[in-house]
Copies of this chain bind each other. A is one copy, B any other.
Amino acid sequence: MVQAELKSGAIQSDDALSDRVYSAVSTLIKTQQLHGGDIIVESRLADLLGVSRTPLREALQKLEGEGLVVKNGRSFVVRAVGLAEYLQSLKVREILEGEAAGLSAGRVPAAAIARVRDNIDALLGAPVYLPAEHWQSDDEVHALVCDHSGNPVLARMIHNLRMVTRLYETLNLADRLVPDATEHLEIIEALESGDAKLARQKAQAHLRSLYKASI
């Protein structure tokens, strides 16, 4: 099932153990090595990660707070996000990210915009499809929108929503590469222009596009 060692990988080793475990389990979930609905046996996972149950439980509590795992009866299970919830989340994101985009319009540093744009271009120009880079570019664009809205509460909210959104993984990511990229570029352009209304509209259009692609 899971063969990754905790120590390996890009995990900073001077962090607290429970934080490392948190990151480890988080990526295990996001990379589908633990899939939705799996029930988590504490001792097993703890052994697998080479730690005791205490820091693991701590990590699981935190993950529960972020909605990546839920408690079913007495044990934790990896959160399974169905189509309905995915669509609901997208709907809320449409509202929130639209607002955030409007607030951020004209407030994003040119350097940040340029960097994100370069990444999108690189992604489009890549000879093969790179899922990880796709995700990262996605994160960057949405971070651009959130972090400059001047409303950290709003930003955090969107972040949490996107987290859950990711758990719904039936759609084929590769098919979304070109639509995502073009829509992202439109959002960025709107942000750059300072046209709040346009930015909001483009962000909402992007989310609606995701929505339609999943029906």
Contact = CB atoms under 8 A, between A and B. Distances in A.
Interface residues of A, number: 22
A157 B85 CA distance: 13
A153 B154 CA distance: 15
A89 interface: yes
Contacts of A66: 65
Given A65-B65, A65-B66, A66-B65, A92 B154 contact: yes
A88 to B, nearest CB: 4
Given A62-B65, A65-B62, A65-B65, A92 B57 contact: no
A66 B67 CA distance: 11
A129 to B, nearest CB: 30
Contact of A154 (B62, B91, B154, B164): B91
B88 A99 contact: no
Contacts of A154: 88, 91-92
8 contacts: A64-B65, A65-B66, A85-B152, A88-B153, A91-B153, A92-B157, A95-B95, A95-B99
